[in-house]
């Protein structure tokens, strides 16, 4: 009996798909991929919950078959691709909201629940989960944990680790274990093992459920934008706001190139790009939420300081601001008039996701991002800086280019630029990844960043995944080729 037959026997035939059409449907994500580079798994499994995942892992362990868990397939560097074949475990069939505890402001969900679906349930109770990337309609809780992705509201609420209270995991032995501190907000008990699964890409185990703290919905929000003379001045203004007690809910810095990507709806409406002054080096966009009187006071203060003390200019044309916020959060588009996919008709989006210290932002942009674009012959889309450290300046950079997926040379150039950009960030005291995770493209830079810690990573992997079947080929693995497959 083959392992696929065993999966059918254990789960039922409707949950195990090996037809070519079904397998091909899971062969790509948002990664830059050239013609014929699709990564087709050998079989796709659609589990209903933790018990099904346990059965799948035990069959995979018995036969030495790789398992790649995947959420909404919105990853941008192949973290959810089954690059060694085997089993692709599609968690979107585990999408239930299991409990909304209003009194304790927590929610318990299956890993395949999308971030938007969770907030749809919470809204009726006056609550929300602030971890909301642009892909919230497709991005799942499990994939957010696996990649440690960014959020629009990271300036105040941080990334997925901040609301994550506990995770239920199936490890590489097929054990089903809960890690975390139940519904309490913090603990000094035991080891914080749950944190290991944030950014682990499913290489240590498969998250099947999670408990998260949620927050009261803000009654009012105001979004504004200021044109700044440089990236550095934008950072300085944010620091000034924090020192002065301003409660920024969202804060984003874009280079002048990047604004055109986020204001595609504006271009469709007006027939031209937004007009930005020639002296502009950056655009600072922010949101403040809460009681209207407090929000308006703080927002007006920020706008005044931006102009009077930091040489900026408030963006008065409301359509520019609204177009950016539509793209970032509300998603109230007219059909086919948003940046995905209308602005991507001929060339698509490719990016490196690095982090640098706050004092290196301008130098990295000029000596890193822009220089490397020229080196690899790529067309600039722009650099965006997400602020993802709660109430502090922590930069997560999206260094984006346009790439023609039909041109293999361009796809290869994008991958090479990702590696070079990651190395440049490391040279400046930064990190090679901030929201896509390490993936197989960054194995070398991940090793460089880990240094002596790499041996400890290996030991942790041995404990949780001794058979090396969990999302193989990602992060620091030695063997870049697919493992042997069961051909019974």
Mean pLDDT, rounded, of the chain: 92
- Do 449 and 414 touch, CB atoms closer than 8 A? no
What does the block give as tokens for 200? 């682990």
> What is the per-residue DSSP string for 400-414?
EEEE-TT-HHHHHHH
φ, ψ (nearest 5 deg) of residue 214? -125, 170
* pLDDT above 90: percentage of residues in the chain: 80
Q: Among 170-174, 340-344, 356-360, 480-484, which stretch is predicted with the lowest mean pLDDT?
A: 480-484
Task: Assign residue 45 the CATH number of its domain.
Answer: 3.30.43.10
Question: Is residue 381 situated within a structural domain?
Answer: yes
Strand ordering across the sheet containing 97-101: 97-101, 106-110, 205-213, 164-171, 176-180
Task: Assign residue 117 the CATH number of its domain.
Answer: 3.30.465.10
Instruction: Read off the pLDDT of residues 68-108 as tens digits, 9 standing for 90 and up.
Output: 999 989 888 899 999 999 999 999 999 999 999 999 999 99
Q: Identify the band that residue 333 occupies on the pLDDT scale cut at 50, 70 and 90.
A: low
Structure confidence at residue 340 (pLDDT): 47
Domain end marker among 273, 306, 330: 330
Residues 86 and 164 in one domain: no
Summarize the confidence of residues 318-328 as an average pLDDT: 88
Question: Is residue 443 situated within a structural domain?
Answer: no
Domain end marker among 61, 91, 121: 91
- Do 4 and 41 touch, CB atoms closer than 8 A? no
Residues 125 and 168 in one domain: yes
Q: Identify the band that residue 214 occupies on the pLDDT scale cut at 50, 70 and 90.
A: very high
Instruction: Read off the pLDDT of residues 118-172 as tens digits, 9 standing for 90 and up.
Output: 999 999 999 999 999 988 999 999 999 999 999 999 999 999 999 999 999 999 9
Domain end marker among 201, 216, 231: 216
Summarize the confidence of residues 247-270 as an average pLDDT: 84
Summarize the confidence of residues 435-443 as an average pLDDT: 90
Q: Among 120-124, 164-168, 199-203, 324-328, which stretch is predicted with the lowest mean pLDDT?
A: 324-328
Q: Return the H-helix or E-strand segment holding 114.
A: none
Residues 379 and 290 in one domain: no
What does the block give as tokens for 334? 């007219």
Summarize the confidence of residues 34-49 as an average pLDDT: 95
Residues 106 and 206 in one domain: yes
Asked whether the predicted pLDDT for residue 330 surpasses 90, the reply is no
Into how many domains does the chain fold?
Answer: 4
Indicate the pTM of the whole model.
Answer: 0.93
Residues 16 and 75 in one domain: yes
Asked whether the predicted pLDDT for residue 346 surpasses 90, the reply is no
Residues 23 and 44 in one domain: yes
Q: Among 333-337, 351-355, 357-361, 437-441, which stretch is predicted with the lowest mean pLDDT?
A: 333-337
Q: Return the H-helix or E-strand segment holding 293.
A: helix 292-308
What does the block give as tokens for 39? 């990564």
Residues 47 and 155 in one domain: no
* pLDDT above 70: percentage of residues in the chain: 94
Asked whether the predicted pLDDT for residue 488 surpasses 80, the reply is no
The domain in which residue 265 lies consists of 221-330
DSSP β-ladder status, 215-216 and 127-128: antiparallel
Give every CB contact of residue 86 below 8 A, 6+ residues apart in sequence.
41, 42, 43, 60, 65, 66, 67, 68, 469, 472, 482, 483, 485
Residues 168 and 251 in one domain: no
Q: SS3 sequence, 84-104?
A: CCCEEEEHHHCCCEEEEECCC
Question: Is residue 472 situated within a structural domain?
Answer: no
Question: Is residue 77 situated within a structural domain?
Answer: yes
Chain centroid to Cα 141, Å, comes to: 11
- Count CA atoms within 13 Å of residue 142 on its CB side: 34
Structure confidence at residue 281 (pLDDT): 94
Task: Assign residue 276 the CATH number of its domain.
Answer: 3.30.70.3450
Summarize the confidence of residues 32-40 as an average pLDDT: 91
């Amino acid at each position: 009996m083959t392992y696929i037959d065993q999966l059918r026997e254990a789960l039922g035939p409707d949950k195990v798909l090996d037809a070519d059409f079904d397998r091909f449907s899971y062969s790509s994500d948002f990664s830059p991929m050239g013609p014929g580079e699709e990564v087709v798994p050998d079989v796709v499994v659609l589990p209903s919950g933790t018990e099904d995942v346990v059965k799948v892992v035990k069959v995979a362990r018995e036969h030495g078959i790789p398992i790649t868990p995947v959420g909404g397939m919105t990853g941008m560097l192949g973290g959810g691709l089954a690059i060694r074949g085997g089993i692709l475990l599609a968690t979107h069939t585990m999408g239930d909201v299991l409990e909304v505890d209003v009194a304790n402001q927590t929610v318990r969900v299956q890993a395949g629940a999308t971030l938007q679906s969770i907030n749809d349930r919470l809204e009726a109770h006056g609550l929300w989960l602030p971890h909301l990337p642009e892909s919230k309609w497709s991005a799942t809780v499990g994939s957010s944990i696996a990649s440690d992705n960014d959020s629009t509201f990271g300036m105040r609420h941080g990334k997925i680790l901040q609301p994550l209270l506990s995770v239920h995991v199936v490890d590489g032995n097929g054990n089903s274990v809960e890690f975390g501190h139940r519904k309490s907000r913090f603990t000094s008990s035991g080891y914080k093992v749950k944190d290991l699964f944030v950014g682990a890409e499913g290489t240590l185990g498969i998250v099947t459920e999670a408990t998260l703290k949620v927050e009261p919905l803000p009654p009012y929000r105001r979004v504004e934008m200021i044109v700044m003379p440089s990236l550095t001045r934008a950072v300085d203004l944010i620091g000034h706001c924090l020192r002065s007690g301003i409660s920024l809910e969202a804060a984003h810095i874009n280079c002048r190139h990047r604004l055109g990507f986020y204001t595609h709806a504006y271009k469709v409406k007006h027939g031209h790009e937004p007009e930005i002054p020639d002296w502009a080096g950056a655009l600072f966009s922010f949101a403040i939420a809460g009681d209207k009187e407090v929000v308006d006071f703080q927002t007006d203060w920020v706008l005044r300081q931006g102009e009077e003390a930091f040489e900026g200019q408030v963006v008065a044309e409301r359509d520019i601001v609204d177009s950016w916020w539509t793209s970032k959060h509300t998603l109230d588009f007219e059909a086919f008039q948003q940046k995905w996919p209308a602005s991507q008709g001929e060339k698509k989006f490719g990016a490196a996701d690095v982090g640098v210290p706050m004092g290196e932002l301008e130098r990295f942009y000029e000596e890193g991002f822009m220089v490397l674009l020229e080196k690899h012959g790529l067309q600039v889309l722009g650099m965006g800086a997400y602020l993802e450290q709660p109430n502090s300046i922590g930069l997560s950079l999206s260094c984006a280019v346009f790439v023609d997926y039909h041109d293999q040379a361009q796809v290869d150039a994008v991958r090479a630029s990702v590696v070079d950009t990651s190395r440049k960030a490391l040279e400046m005291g930064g990190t090679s990844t901030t929201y896509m995770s390490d993936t197989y493209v960054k194995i070398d830079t991940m090793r460089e960043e880990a240094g002596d810690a790499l041996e400890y990573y290996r030991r942790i992997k041995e404990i949780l995944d001794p058979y090396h079947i969990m999302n193989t080929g990602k992060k620091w693995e030695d063997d870049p080729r697919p493992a042997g497959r069961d051909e019974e």
